[in-house]
Amino acid sequence: MSTTQYWVPPGVIDLGLGHPSLSLLPQPLLAQAARHRFAQDDRDALQYGPEQGGPGMRAALAAFLSAQYAAPAAAPVQGDGLMLTNGISQALDMICTVFTRPGDVVIVEEPTYFLALRIFADHGLRVISAPMDNDGLIPEALAALLVAHHPRLLYTIPTHQNPSGVTLSAQRRAQVLELCRAHDVLLVADEVYHLLTYTGSPPPPFALWADDPTVIALGSFSKILAPGMRLGWLQAPPARLAALAAWGVTASGGGMSPFTASVVQSLLELDLLGDHVAFLRRTYRARRDALVAALHTHLGDRLRFAVPTGGYFIWATSRTPLDGERLATAAAAAQVDFRAGPRFSSRGGLRDNLRLCFAYYAEADLEEGVRRLARALQS
């Protein structure tokens, strides 16, 4: 059965697939964490949980994030400022339910994560896209859109953006935050790729401003542990957390995935996750470099792109006008796939772009996938 996130036809190399390969999912670590959790003889994790998530898990997560984000010693991440979610997609849906109404405007980046656009559509929101360059959102353009459209929220992927790979500069982060404050716009920062940095260091995440009533920062274990855990978190000030905790689904069912969260709590308490994230960084850096080398070798005359400093994706632009439908047909014949640019546009643009992912395949398969894509482009 095909799904948006998983199925690949046999024999096809899908360079558009945006998730980790099965070999990178740490089953032994999770088995060790589960044994540790069951050894506690604590049945709280099998019961309905607190709306924000168990305090032990939130404390362990806060300590992990404080270290990973290099939070100032005087202002570490606080467990009371965290709420567990079923991943970023569910968190985004919850934010739309609680803080928006049909007809409200949401500003997104152009390009943006295509399935976020579907969530906004489900809530009847009107999407306006803001332009980017190599430093991320352009503050001057964003300011004009805020005046013209009076949006309810801004959705941004500030670090190693999906699909562009661009990281919002430190100076622009401060400018974007100030603009949202001035216009009473909720800044929703999807920081799922922040911990997957392979070159240099990104600017501090918006999560470190999460005590500001303007900011809700989102994180997830999908990219640093396993997507099937369906576990993430959000950081926000107390008033925002109280409103989210009062959401009907949370009030009825309690906190999200208390048992899964308890296993991850053990993973954190055993200090296993940090080493796994470091392993992922090494692995993904090697895969990124392999994809970059293959693109230069086989498609350097057809595509241009910037090398991302982290995340999962390379955003390539055709040097000549691209017919996405013809390329999709040729790619299928060559047993390769990709994600076409218009999927990531709220207005059907970006027709000369491709999103290519290096997370799922090992180096040899990435090389072969680019060979096949080159044949498709040549045909």
User: Is 101 part of a structural domain of the chain?
Assistant: yes
User: Is 201 part of a structural domain of the chain?
Assistant: yes
Residue 170 has a pLDDT of 97
Lowest mean pLDDT among 54-58, 183-187, 198-202, 249-253: 249-253
User: Is 39 part of a structural domain of the chain?
Assistant: yes
On whether both 234 and 374 belong to a single domain, the answer is no
On whether both 102 and 244 belong to a single domain, the answer is yes
Answer yes or no: is pLDDT of 312 > 80.
yes
On whether both 318 and 331 belong to a single domain, the answer is yes
CA distance 5 to 228: 11
On whether both 166 and 71 belong to a single domain, the answer is yes
Residue 42 has a pLDDT of 82
User: Is 2 part of a structural domain of the chain?
Assistant: no
- 267 lies in which domain range? 27-271
Lowest mean pLDDT among 2-16, 135-149, 158-172, 365-379: 2-16
Residue 2 has a pLDDT of 47
106, with CB counted inside 10 A (0-12, 13-18, 19+), is: buried
Cβ count near 21 (within 10 Å):
14
Confidence tier at 289 by pLDDT (50, 70, 90): very high
Residue 251 has a pLDDT of 83
> Total domain count for the chain?
2
Answer yes or no: is pLDDT of 340 > 80.
yes
- Domain closes at, from 255, 271, 287: 271
On whether both 174 and 284 belong to a single domain, the answer is no
Answer yes or no: is pLDDT of 205 > 80.
yes
Confidence tier at 320 by pLDDT (50, 70, 90): very high
On whether both 265 and 357 belong to a single domain, the answer is no
Residue 5 has a pLDDT of 60
CA distance 142 to 146: 6
| 8-state DSSP, 197 | B
On whether both 307 and 253 belong to a single domain, the answer is no
Residue 250 has a pLDDT of 87
Residue 3 has a pLDDT of 55
On whether both 51 and 196 belong to a single domain, the answer is yes
**What pLDDT digit, counting tens, does each position of 145-157 carry?**
999 999 999 999 9
- Domain closes at, from 271, 289, 323: 271
Report the half-sphere exposure of 214 (CA within 13 A, side-chain side). Answer: 17
Residue type at position 338: F
User: Is 4 part of a structural domain of the chain?
Assistant: no
On whether both 221 and 291 belong to a single domain, the answer is no
User: Is 5 part of a structural domain of the chain?
Assistant: no
- Domain closes at, from 248, 271, 294: 271
Strands 313-318 and 136-137: unpaired
On whether both 305 and 156 belong to a single domain, the answer is no
Task: For residue 308, say if its preceding peptide bond is cis, omega within 30 degrees of 0.
Answer: no
**What pLDDT digit, counting tens, does each position of 33-80 carry?**
999 999 988 888 899 999 999 999 999 999 999 999 998 887 899 999
Residue 23 has a pLDDT of 95
User: Is 7 part of a structural domain of the chain?
Assistant: no
CA angle 212, 56, 54 (to 5 degrees): 75
Element (H or E) spanning 68, and its range? helix 55-68
Query: Averaged over 119-130, what is the pLDDT?
Result: 98
On whether both 176 and 200 belong to a single domain, the answer is yes
What's the CATH number where 111 sits? 3.40.640.10
Phi, psi dihedrals of residue 309, rounded to the nearest 5°: -85, 0
Q: How far is CA 226 from the centre of its chain?
A: 13
Sign of CA dihedral 88, 94, 97, 99: negative
Confidence tier at 1 by pLDDT (50, 70, 90): very low
On whether both 233 and 301 belong to a single domain, the answer is no
Residue type at position 345: S
**What pLDDT digit, counting tens, does each position of 23-35 carry?**
999 999 999 999 9
User: Is 3 part of a structural domain of the chain?
Assistant: no
Q: Which of 297, 287, 312, 298 is nearest to 366 (CA)?
A: 287
Record the tokens describing residue 169, joined without a space: 């500069």
Average pLDDT, rounded, for the chain: 95
What's the CATH number where 330 sits? 3.90.1150.10
Q: Strand, coil or helix: what is 34?
A: helix
